Structure 1
Amino acid sequence: MKADAATLDRISQALKTARAPSSDFDLNDDAHLIAGIKTRPAGVLCALQDVGGTLQVILTVRSSALKHHPGQIAFPGGKQEDSDADVIAAALREAREEIGLPSEIVEVLGCLPPHQTVTSFQVTPVVARVHGDFIVRPEPGEVAEVFRVPLAHVLDSGAYSVQSRAWRGTMRHYFTVPWGPYYIWGATARMLRELAEAVE
């Protein structure tokens, strides 16, 4: 079995194991606030693509004009619309709209537990394999850039660190997993770490 095939099998098996939800509050003192927050469902696509024989994770740099998380690094995805059957359908639709990823070449492997953000979204990370290549078409209004990070990097728990910054008058702690010039942090880093922990 090829190394990447073995990795995909490990991921598929890991996604079948029940895990507790995560949140932006995990590393902070206000976790007790989660119960009182009304959230909106959303789906993001953690798409794994074979590039030159190495599995890569597709990520985006969000447009600086967006209301939520402008300029940050994120998975393609967004809130679930009434027309979406579920959060998986939402993730696939958003990936098609945001980066031009055709749903027919995407094989869903499973989902990580939901992640609650400080912006009141209940985000379900949908982990999937991309079969073949496609023409990346960033949606100008939402995506400033599309790039890839080696899956091996984000599966390495040693690549993560906890940092902090001021947000709305208080210090917030969060995970980071930088890659080259890309500062991957916050909810995206937390969900990637959840994947790493599940596979480990």
Structure 2
Amino acid sequence: MSEFPLYSAGEFRRRALNQSGGPVELAWRDHGDHVLNPETTLQAEGLTLRDAAVLVPVVDYGEDAKVIFTLRTSTLRKHSGQIAFPGGAIDPEDASPEMAAMREAAEEIGLADIFIEPVARLPHYLAATGFRITPILAVVKPGFELTLNPTEVEDAFEVPLSFLMDPDHHVTDSMVWQGIERQFYRMPYGSHMIWGITAGIVRTLYERLYS
């Protein structure tokens, strides 16, 4: 039995380091909305993909950790107006996906790396928009102050980890994209709708750590 409360940052860290579901390098096909869309997943695998990384920032608030999300501005070229994790393309000067994710978090929301403890990676998420995304699981110490980049981020907010890891909040839906019906997860939280890539990563987090 764990010494940590179920939805604490300590238990999140412990589970992140002991994930179920096989090695992260090979497991992406078996998780999240990749399972819901086998045909489009195969198409994405055949694309020339650019590597990207996102930070999944779990803030250590004691027994009830919370996860930071961003609302992207409506003027961005890709995924405008959507809820996302801090992140973006991995640049040549980035030493690792972890460094890229932390750099993007600093640029987008002003989250300083002194507050961030990268813990583990989730399996890749292959996005049909042309990216191979590495989610970086991280524990964030409280005491930070966020400064939003107004060209990229309209808002930042926190959602309890306990809410996100409850499968009753994982709704499946579908839409037609480029002539193909694609299924996806969505997770309504108050006035926010987490869906698409971000919800797919959250679902993978649930399947790997809490299911």
Q: TM-score, normalised by structure 1?
A: 0.92
CA contact (8 A) 2:122 2:136 kept: yes
Task: Tell me, yes or no, if structure 1 residue 198 matches structure 2 residue 198.
Answer: no
- Identify if the C-alpha distance between structure 1 residues 25 and 7 changes in structure 2 by more than 3 Å, giving closer, same or farther: closer
Equivalent in the alignment of 1:166: 176
SS across alignment from 1:54: coil
Q: Which residue, out of 159, 163, 173, partners 1:153?
A: 163
Indicate the residue corresponding to 1:113 in structure 2: 123
Q: Which amino acid aligns with 2:137?
A: V
**1:92 and 2:92 are equivalent in the alignment:** no
Query: Take 1:192 and 1:2, find their aligned partners in 2: how far apart are those partners?
Result: 21
Shift of 1:150: 0.4
Answer whether contact 2:41 2:126 (CA < 8 A) is retained. no
> Does 2:17 correspond to 1:12?
yes
Distance 1:90 1:64, change over 3 A: same
CA distance in 1, matches of 2:120, 2:20: 6
The answer on whether the counterparts of 2:61 and 2:142 sit within 8 Å (CA) in structure 1 is no
Aligned counterpart for 2:146 among listed residues 130, 136, 142: 136
1:36 is aligned to 46
- Structure 1 residue 10: Cα displacement: 2.2
Corresponding position of 2:36:
27
Q: 1-side partners of 2:62 and 2:208: how far apart?
A: 26
Distance 2:144 2:63 in 1: 16
Among all aligned residue pairs of Structure 1 and Structure 2, give the percentage whose two residues are the same amino acid: 35
SS class of match (1:95): helix
Q: State how far apart, in whole Å, the 1-side matches of 2:140 and 2:101 are.
A: 14
SS of the residue corresponding to residue 96 of structure 1 reads: helix
Q: Quickly say closer, same or farther: Cα 1:166–1:17, change in 2 above 3 A.
A: closer
1:73-97 deviation digits (Å, cap 9, x = unpaired): 0000000011111211110000011
Aligned to 2:187: 177
Question: Are 1:174 and 1:185, in contact at CA under 8 Å, matched by a contact in 2?
Answer: yes
2:68 paired residue number: 58
Contact 1:25 1:118 in 2 (8 A): no
Amino acid at match of 1:11: A
| Structure 2 residues without counterparts, runs of 5 or longer | none
Q: In structure 2, how many angstroms separate the alpha carbons of the residues matched to 1:137 and 1:83?
A: 24
How far apart are 1:15 and its partner, in Å?
7.5
Count of aligned positions: 200
Confirm or deny: 8 A CA contact 1:16 1:110 kept in the other structure.
no
The farther-off stretch of 24-33 and 118-127 is 24-33
- Contact kept, 8 Å, 1:15 with 1:112, in 2: the verdict is no
